[in-house]
Amino acid sequence: MSNVSAKSGRVIPVLVFLFVGLFALLVFTLYGGQQAQAQNAANGAANQEKMPVIEMQLKTGPVIIQLRPDLAPKNVAQIITLTKQGFYDGIVFHRVIKGFMAQTGDPTGTGMGGSDLPDLKAEFTDTPFVRGTIGMARTPNPDSANSQFFIVFGDASFLNGQYSVIGQVIKGMENVDAIKKGDANANGLVVNPDKIISMRLLSGE
């Protein structure tokens, strides 16, 4: 009996030690995971702050656009280049479909034109098209985007993975909503369309 009691006395401290060790490991793992998540969130926020920002001036007020070179670096670079050149100043929204999107970026105002820069390779991602998302317009050829882009008025998930996402409206979406709409029977063609008064790079390269 005394031998059994002695063994039991030795086992209990060992079990307590193991329990304390496992508890400490669990706490460390949970805390470490939370710290990592917090750091990742902070890094993501910092990266977002470093993204280039453009101001597009419309007749009803400014629209602030955060570009996403992390999603479509070549397409975004071309938009920035054209913006710096003043290419978009005075260009009309030639195609605007109520509840869907407003398209611009064609100096001819017909939907058939573009800039003198080369067409771009597609940079499709799984980034969803939601209200205020900006995508590069193109022909049926995926690698034909050039200078035209469109802003969606609401959810347009049917476009996901088919157009290069280049940015997101972060302020002034009400001014996008106010852009003159086109004729639904003419695929959104606008008579006497509204235009981009000016477009300027506020931050970023």
pLDDT at 50: 84
pLDDT at 181: 98
User: With 80 as the cut, is the pLDDT of residue 10 above it?
Assistant: no
- Mean pLDDT calculated for residue range 22-47: 50
Per-residue pLDDT of 113-159, as tens digits, reads 999 999 999 999 999 999 999 999 999 999 999 999 999 999 999 99
pLDDT at 204: 72
Per-residue pLDDT of 166-196, as tens digits, reads 999 999 999 999 999 999 999 999 999 999 9
CB atoms within 10 A of CB 43: 10
User: With 70 as the cut, is the pLDDT of residue 6 above it?
Assistant: no
**pLDDT band at residue 40 using 50, 70 and 90 as cut-offs:** very low
Pairing of strands 133-136, 165-171: antiparallel
Per-residue pLDDT of 65-121, as tens digits, reads 999 999 999 999 999 999 999 999 999 999 999 999 999 999 999 999 999 999 999
Half-sphere exposure in the Cβ direction for 151 (13 Å, CA): 28
Pairing of strands 149-152, 133-136: antiparallel
CA distances from 148 to 21, 119, 144 (A): 61, 11, 10
pLDDT at 48: 57
C-alpha span between 184 and 205 (Å, rounded): 38
User: With 90 as the cut, is the pLDDT of residue 12 above it?
Assistant: no
**pLDDT band at residue 205 using 50, 70 and 90 as cut-offs:** low
Range with the poorest average pLDDT among 4-18, 43-57, 115-129, 131-145: 4-18
In b/e form, how buried is each residue of 190-200, taking b as 16+ CB within 10 angstroms? beebbbbeebe
List the beta bridge partners of residue 63.
56
C-alpha span between 120 and 92 (Å, rounded): 22
- Mean pLDDT calculated for residue range 56-68: 98
**pLDDT band at residue 203 using 50, 70 and 90 as cut-offs:** confident
Q: Kind and range of the H or E element at 49?
A: helix 2-50
User: With 70 as the cut, is the pLDDT of residue 11 above it?
Assistant: no
